[in-house]
Structure 1
């Protein structure tokens, strides 16, 4: 999807705003970018399509240059712990597998902890991915305390000299406060066990669901300190602007994007490549 498919002038600013909204940029970002385009036209900075594209690119880059960095944080010593959260059906399990595979390819030792203790099928699927990628695997008894599974995983990681611990969690419905509190408990247990952990709390979002992804982040952020986004399904029908909406409305950077079904189809988010695909 390219936002500017034709020339833009002062008469087509409303059309530009509509195109941004349709591309999932969200209301705040769409208004900001449209206002910036209007200002550029009024001041003579831009007069046609190519110049306005440059203005929009510059403004979006400025959005991403401010706030938290898009690179994954690593612990200075001991295991680096990533808490992975998200609702059912967003691609969380496969995103964990892809991240584990990527880290192992870099020569790191990885452990996957299955803290979704209420869905045996989900645990078995994660176990399969751990075996396939070569990651260590920790699970608890069915319906056991998910926070206890996380604690046991950190104990085992220290004993086995693991570099990264990826803690999977149940696919929480973001409207269920009891389940959200359970996630917050896991985060507290992890932080007490290892200083500065979890080093990342990564939320997996489906890029194709548009503004619903923004609402999911808003709900999860009330219980957890979300530090970054893994945006799955960016290779499908995703319109792309959701990346900007998340950054503008929640200051949460997209850190990784899923671009296919293969284990290697996980990439670090690159704002320049993103702009080439979405803006032009």
Structure 2
């Protein structure tokens, strides 16, 4: 059972999970996490062996005004899914975010670091993590960061649009993280799921929280420059107008939701347990950029 199939990660998961078994992929109409009371019937009708929850409330700034709704979707409903997974002895894979941390640490965050979210979205995602753990179902919580894809609304697509409209861009240069392609998240999830299913057959305890994000680090400014540089190389039609990307401070671009200054997360535990090493962020960025431009 896959939720959120029309989202960035969910869309890619529908493809990546297909070789592993029958995938029942549900969109928001079919499984609406804003209505937690409807979830038990849906899960019990499908009776899945595995639930991959890629549905989420992801409007970070809007969550400051809609924290109750964000918490219902990202927290309460996730807890209901986890409780239903426990009843069926199903494995639950759930995605979380770097925004559960406050960003004050100087080094990359590890799974042992104590969460301390600084915005409503982060609080809602942490509520989901806690609900999954408290349910005692077999689970993996995969935290990722700065997700983008060739579909949906995301930073990479916004930069490509602006690059075709403006000669100069001003982008925040004092927040650090690793832009992570949804396709890499989905492919890694399939690899992890295969390994975990083998572990479960032997009775090994599988539950845990892991960081799953691209290798390397950059800033939003560095990410923007890399996107535009790759787009310019690929742009035979001369659509890219941006010639200058200026660095600015977070304070120069105020948003309703505060962002962590440091969103770097250490994914080495994932590599140790599952042998999954995520590619460098700029390699995936180049492929996704080409895919977006080809589709225009």
TM-score, with structure 2 as normaliser? 0.32
Highest CA radius of gyration, 1 or 2?
1
